[in-house]
Structure 1
Amino acid sequence: MRWRWLSLLALLLAAPAAAQPDGAALYAQHCAACHGGERLGGMGPALLPENMGRLRPAQAATVIAQGRAATRMPGFADQLSPPEIEALAAHIFRPAPANLRWDAAEIEASRQVLAPPERLPARPVFDADPLNLFLVVETGDHHVTVLDGDRFAPIHRFPTRPALHGGPKFSPDGRFTYLMSRDGWVTKYDIHGLQPVAEVRVGINSRNLALSSDGRFVAVANYLPRSLVLLDAGDLSVKRVIPAVALRGGATSRVSAVYDARPRRSFVVAMKDIPEIWEVSYDDNAPPVFTGLVHNYEKGMVEGLAASQGLFALRRIAVEEPLDDFMFDPAYRHLLGSAREGKTVVVNLTVGRPVAEVPLEGLPHLGSGITWTQDGRRLLATPNLRRPEVSVIDMADWKVAARIPTDGPGFFLRSHERTPYAWTDSMMGGPGARDTIQVIDKRSLEVVRRLRPAPGRTAAHVEFTRDGRYALVSVWEDDGAVVVYDAESLAEVTRLPMRKPSGKYNVFNKITLSEGTSH
């Protein structure tokens, strides 16, 4: 009997281990048709670590098994075993292909003109004020609602690419808007005709886009590939692809942000991995600028290298560490930028070097900062992603004028030139904080009211009507709402059901650079 047990044990030990599921083969069979053979995206989004956001492999496995609501993503629990689902989830978190290319040729091949100019209507196809419209981005089911800002009634609702990233940008006359998804699709949409005009894929993982003040060019910041892409704003054709390469040493960088600097007729660009700020001119007659401006801190001087001029002339400004986020002063002479793990600095764009440091702890969200004038002083205020406060800075000397306590860390801060109040959320806080909107008196720099549009549910992102009479707040949930408040009495006026309305953007406030909204 003992011999039989020993023989059986020997056979079990000699048997080959059960084959592990092949994640690559499973991907090719079940996923490639929608997400592309190289995981670069297609009908579905790109499936690369850079594009997953905060999704983790365990969460990805749940999506693979159960599917995702409001998308074309089906569940595979009835086709794949749990080990196969785990292998597939692990596969999509593998690094991007080393030979990945998405240059001008690939960009141009993806471009589609959906409505040529002769098919666009001569006037709006609706009777609402075209400058008091809101675009409400609903990430719950990947749609945008065009909302009448006078009647607070939806005019139209259209589908978008998944995971729109950053706010839409508007042409100078407010007619067209430009939308960008996290996996690099840029869509031009005709608001007057309520129809898409053109679409192009500029990258695999993109951060935000900017539109030149003259309406001629679109600039897109890419994480993957590491580049800045410049498009013709008319038909989205490629004008230039600029690899994000450091002046010295050849290191490459993700491009973390690009914004339009209207008075300077240039795009200003932040690099995430190299200590440089770029300024790219869109002035056809730009004077000579240095392609390399390197600040020598030991010698206390700026060393200039080869000059270029005219359209897309590139200037580099050296900083001590990469800047993750930034905003401009109203004159666009200074840039206030923050490093993710470091200090906040003021860069004078005219002389091309840092001129001050601002003692802000945590991580100020400068992309959501606003300014206003109080007693002849220009103040700048910013929420903080890590600290429960709004920091107020005197822009005359770049000193902290006040720290306004809030219920939790916040993401958005908004106001309007016709209201004495600034509104901020605490959406980065925990339970009991993230459902709160704090209303701050811009004169006393104190919280004067707390609003809870939906107790226990996330409240965020305020935007005002063009006249500043009403403030719109998002209940940031899949079965959420846009809640309209009277900006003077702070009373609720109405609420509109929406699918996770992540942002609302008023055409007039954006094209006129209202001091109460981000630019």
Structure 2
Amino acid sequence: MIRLLSLALAGLLLAGCAQQPPLRGSGDLGVIIERARGSIQIIETSGQTQLARIEGLGDLSHASVVFSRDQRFAYVFGRDGGLTKVDLLAQRIDKRILQGGNSIGGAISQDGSLIAVGNYEPGGVKVFDAQTLELVADIPSTPLPDGSRNSRVVGVIDAPGQRFLFALFDTGEIWIADFSEREKPTVTRFEHIGHQPYDDLLTPDGRYYLAGLFGEDGMALLDLWHPEQGVKRVLDGYGRGEQKLPVYKMPHLEGWAIAGEQAFVPAIGQHRVLVMNTGNWQQSAAIEVAGQPVFVMARPDARQIWVNFAYPDNHRVQVIDSETHAIVADLQPGPGVLHMEFSARGEQLWLSVRDGNEVQVWDPYRLELLKRLPAESPSGIFFSSRAHRTGL
């Protein structure tokens, strides 16, 4: 009887082991958002394969992802205010909370211990312990003058010094939340920075924070080495004298491309990519492109700039030579190209084709399509290598 029980127990243990994902590292993993289904796919870049689908993540119509410093966990920010911690190795949800009414993204702190979430509703930023998802701080945003609600928060990013930066869309502000002393965080506010800041960029060295302005032509620049100098205006009036076109999709400025001493940024309501000199932050060129740019992304070696577009040109992707500013490729991957992501060393470019229900893998050097992977209404693509990049 004891022998039979032992054999039965061993069989159960073996069956349990068989159900576990195979042992692997996490450095080549990534996440694809399936926006209509409320699910994500876990993929790996080395073999360009799909590993698992995780269901039950709520409203992912505008979702973004950050990763733990060991690249094991993905934190998914959903439009329904959901914050979901996903174990990429065990291929399951580790924990999920509803922390707000309408979330628009978030960030993970420099040391990986804190998760900050920006909210449209109720307005403000909430900060959580990255391991437990327990609330650490609640930072309400500025109330509107009529007192009807608080300002919507956009563009939450991490910055050196255990800080988070974000913009207040309705009240025209930039805030720095300093968590270097976790129990006594401080907030520095910069007011009157421009009309309707809608997204932002942190330069790769973590020094310059730029916020795009939707309500006027221009951008707001904050030097984090010298915040006492306040916010400066750059690209002021870049659309002066030109009729602005209807904006069908807001550009996403975390995709701004820094290539050497040049910054490539989308022009709102125009069919142009603007080029700034990062030494003086003045415009140096404007590149005519096929439509209104959404993502403007540099290959990791900065030799190419890849651009996708808003409707009705969202079936196209153009590739710009960063040195000559010439368009070297005009690709048509399929209907509804929403997002692009380079692998860490740049040998692959993954892009989502929402209306084609697929994700494509490209060789950005040969400009060749390598693989198609099925996905249901895919949007954002995020690789775990982001865990070691500041400002994402």
TM-score of the superposed pair, with normalisation by structure 1: 0.65
SS of aligned partner of 1:273: coil
Partner amino acid for 1:371?
I
Partner of 2:215: 341
Counting only pairs closer than 5 Å after superposition, residues 364-379 of structure 1 correspond to structure 2 as: 365-373=252-260, 378-379=261-262
- Percent of aligned pairs with the same amino acid: 23
- Tell me the CA shift for residue 484 of structure 1: 1.2
CA positional deviation for 1:229: 1.0
Q: Structure 1 residue 236 and structure 2 residue 133: aligned?
A: yes
Counterpart contact for 2:159–2:165, Cα < 8 Å: no
Q: Within 2, Cα distance between the matches of 1:140 and 1:248? A: 36
Q: 2:201 maps to which residue?
A: 327
Partners of 2:322 and 2:140 lie apart in 1 by 43
Deviations along 1:133-154, one digit per CA (max 9) or x if unpaired, are 1211111322211111011111
- Superposed, 1:439-478 pairs within 5 Å as 439-454=319-334, 457-477=335-355
Residue 483 in structure 1 maps to residue 363 in structure 2: no
Q: Distance in 1 between matches of 2:188 and 2:146?
A: 17
> Which residues of 2 match residues 78-89 of structure 1 at below 5 A?
none
Residues 471, 484 of structure 1: 8 Å contact kept: yes
- Deviation digits for residues 350-383 of structure 1, max 9, x if unmatched? 234123421333676423212121xxxx211122
Q: 1:162 aligns with which of 50, 59, 71?
A: 59
Secondary structure in structure 2 of the residue aligned to 1:208: strand
Query: Residue 429 of structure 1 corresponds to which residue in structure 2?
Result: 311
The aligned amino acid for 1:474 is S
User: Matches of 1:250 and 1:481 in 2, distance apart?
Assistant: 45
User: Residues 245-276 of structure 1, C-alpha deviation per residue, up to 9 Å, x if partnerless?
Assistant: 36999895323224333323201121112232
Q: Which residue, out of 221, 231, 242, partners 1:354?
A: 231
Q: Where does 1:276-355 land on structure 2 (aligned, <5 Å)?
A: 276-284=173-181, 311-321=184-194, 322-342=196-216, 343-349=218-224, 350-352=226-228, 353-355=230-232
Shift of 1:185: 1.0
**Counterpart residue type for residue 372 of structure 2:** R
Please point out which of 65, 69, 80 is paired with 1:172.
69
1:409 maps to which of 263, 284, 292: 292
Provide the C-alpha distance between the structure 2 equivalents of 1:341 and 1:247, rounded to a whole number of angstroms.
17
- Contact (CA 8 Å) 2:300, 2:345: kept in 1 or not? no
Instruction: Write the deviation string for residues 376-424 of structure 1: whole angstroms up to 9, x where unpaired.
Output: xx21112234211111111111111221111111211223323621211
The CA deviation at 1:480 is 1.6
How many angstroms apart in 2 are the aligned matches of 1:182 and 1:144? 14
1:204 aligned partner: 101
* Cα distance in 2 between the residues matched to 1:408 and 1:488: 23
SS class of match (2:160) = helix
Q: Deviations over 1:193-233 (max 9, x none)?
A: 11111111111111111111211111111111122211111
AA aligned to 2:123 is R
**Structure 2: which 5+ runs fail to align?**
1-16, 245-249
Q: Which residue of 1 aligns with 2:6?
A: none
* Greater share of helix: 1
Task: Read off the aligned partner of 2:192 and give its amino acid letter.
Answer: V
8 Å CA contact 1:365–1:384 kept in 2: the answer is no
Separation in 2 of the partners of 1:338 and 1:251? 25
Distance in structure 2 (CA, Å) of the matches to 1:473 and 1:255: 29
Q: How does 1:3-402 map to 2 (within 5 A)?
A: 125-127=21-23, 129-159=25-55, 160-245=57-142, 253-284=150-181, 311-321=184-194, 322-342=196-216, 343-349=218-224, 350-352=226-228, 353-359=230-236, 360-361=238-239, 365-373=252-260, 378-402=261-285
Higher strand residue share: 2
Q: Distance in 1 between matches of 2:295 and 2:251?
A: 11
In 2, Cα distance between equivalents of 1:251 and 1:354: 28
* Corresponding residue pairs, total: 359
Q: Is the 8 A contact 1:384 1:390 kept in 2?
A: yes
SS at structure 2 position matched to 1:511:
helix
Deviations 1:402-451 (A, max 9, x none): 2111111121122332362121112x132xx2211101111212210011
SS at match of 1:347: strand
Larger radius of gyration: 1
| Counterpart residue type for residue 60 of structure 2 | A
Q: Secondary structure at the match of 1:234?
A: coil
Give the distance between the partners of 1:400 and 1:354, measured in 2 at CA.
Answer: 18
> What secondary structure is seen at the aligned counterpart in 2 of 1:324?
strand
Mean Cα deviation higher: 382-391 or 172-181: 382-391
Q: Which runs of 5+ in 1 are unaligned?
A: 1-120, 286-309
What letter matches 1:489 in structure 2?
R
Aligned with 1:192: secondary structure?
A: coil
